[in-house]
Amino acid sequence: MENEELLKSVTAKAQEWLGEAYDAETRAEVKRMLDADDKTELIESFYRDLEFGTGGLRGIMGAGCNRMNIYTVGAATQGLANYLKEAFADLDEIKVVVGHDVRNNSRKFAEVVANVFSANGIKAYLFDNFRPTPELSFAIRHLGCQSGVNITASHNPKEYNGYKAYWADGAQIISPHDVNIINNVNEIKGAESIKFEGNPDLIEIIGKDIDDAFLAAVKELSLSPEAIKNNSNLKIVYTPIHGTGVELIPQSLQNYGFTNIIHVPEQDIPSGDFPTVDSPNPENPSAMAMAIAKAKEVEADLVMASDPDADRIGCVIRDNRGEYVLINGNQIAMILLYYLMTRNAELGRLTGKEYIVKTIVTTETIKSIADANNITMYDCYTGFKWIASVIRDNEATCRYLGGAEESYGFLAEEFARDKDSVSAISLMAEAAAWAKDKGMDFLQLLQDIYIKYGFSREEGISVVRQGKSGAEEIVAMMKNFRTNPPKSLGGSDVVIIKDYASLELIDVKAATVEKMDMPTTSNVLQFFTEDGTKISVRPSGTEPKIKFYIEVKGHMANGSEYDKAIADADAKIALVKKDLGI
């Protein structure tokens, strides 16, 4: 009966998409799904409306209310336009920036966004071609705009696209604007409510001038020009993995003074099909395989990558056997923050008013580094909108040094308010030159951090559950962890539980509960054990998966103990995974 009701509901929704307000291509695609014997695709495309969440939209491209297409993109933009006119009713002119990545349909969707904004009397600055996500954030601030939209699905598979909404400070939207925008978007009922006919007079194409201003700002972040001068021929392999970093990142490295940037020609070709990789995610070793092969060929010092919208950084270093190994997002964050804090100290720039930011699921070793340098560290929720919120709260009184999340995102600047691989890759190369001036390669630099501040090992696991049934399974898993929390993990008793949905910190041994001070609630659980292990569990806000973040502690007194510390930590992680049932 339940399945019959579901099919009846999705059929009724689909039939609405056969109306004249929808184009011929869309109507044909919907009719094909309605006529098919197997109704799975119809159900997946129409069983719900693609949710405009606090960050925007993300979904598989295709016809239907649960898919990314010109109608779901148009509805999102119409709702955002309506809210902008409410929020900035006192302005003579409301301005937005529209950008996009290399994905299939990204240019089309970006043009739809610009048209809908302009049809609503809002001036739209539209980039002439694909650009890195952080440049869109920069452009909002640089051009004095009230909002911005970037069409991107970041590092998702090629079937996906997405829609990120930004506010006047260049950050992704948080309360109260997020809820207000969502309410406005939810009021858009069907294609008839969307103003698709753009006003060309209100659309301005932008490009090189913004590139130049952005790259100049990134260059100002450099702290070690002498070290770069001494090591300008550092062999750096860089790949954009078919994405938007293809032009600006090599330019930025050159601006810093690096002269030996080695490309992976096959991956310098922008393509939404990402033809040389299964997934364009620099977290995955397979996505870095061609860059590593090139590194072996030229004996590179460092290998780096950006994801398709160039907000995330991937990094490969040589281990003590000379093999090229991918370091994780926690290690990237740790190295960059260590470099920025230490180099600022060397330059005598620390005044006691500096701070850094990390997300709650990112390694706790970063806090040890900050404490040792008398630098304040803020913990925030996952997502750079929360790091941006901390920057906004402190920009008048304190100096921001950097912010990081374990998912390969880093932001070294205040002139953009979203993670930025352009600056991160430039500064990572600079850190390598700085370390080389001190007689260290990158592995030795990483080991030095562990020796000084304590060894940690992290692993992230994503359990994917597709479709309606998958979403229900993820809800059930979170409920089970709350009602039946583990008593021990990896052979160590759980002593603290943090539930960010209720903002409760539970001290298991003392049997006490206290409230946590966070800006809002979030569907995240954390378990801390007696031996320092930290496990975080949260459903993804943008993908059909539940994520587990495991961090275990260890010890190493010198570089020769590095391999043993890794082996011991990996054994403990395996026990934790078994206890979690993943």
Catalytic residue annotation = 154
Tokens 């230490």 found at: 342
Q: What angle do CA 423, 240, 461 make, to 5 degrees?
A: 85
Provide the angle, in degrees to the nearest 10, between the axes of the packed helices 442-453 and 562-580: 70
DSSP letter for 312, please: B
Shortest CA distance to 152 belongs to which of 68, 83, 215? Answer: 68
Q: Which helix (H) or strand (E) holds 517?
A: none
DSSP letter for 341, please: H
Alpha carbons 361 and 279: distance in angstroms, whole number: 23
DSSP string, 132-148: -HHHHHHHHHHTT-SEE
* CA 434 to mean position of chain CA atoms: 27
Give backbone dihedrals phi and psi of 493, rounded to 5 degrees, phi first. -65, 140
Tokens standing for 484? 């039946």
> What size, in residues, is the chain?
582
DSSP letter for 274, please: -
Shortest CA distance to 328 belongs to which of 76, 131, 551? Answer: 551
Dihedral angle computed from the Cα positions of residues 291, 297, 303 and 305, in that order, rounded to the nearest 10 degrees? -20
Tokens 């858009």 found at: 188
Q: Kind of pairing, strands 354-359 and 376-380?
A: parallel
Around 369, how many Cα atoms within 13 Å sit in the side-chain half-sphere? 29
Give backbone dihedrals phi and psi of 232, rounded to 5 degrees, phi first. -65, -25
Alpha carbons 194 and 107: distance in angstroms, whole number: 19
* CA max distance for the chain: 73
Alpha carbons 236 and 412: distance in angstroms, whole number: 20
Q: What angle do CA 320, 323, 328 make, to 5 degrees?
A: 85
Assess contact for 92 and 127: CB atoms under 8 A: no
| Strand, coil or helix: 561 | helix
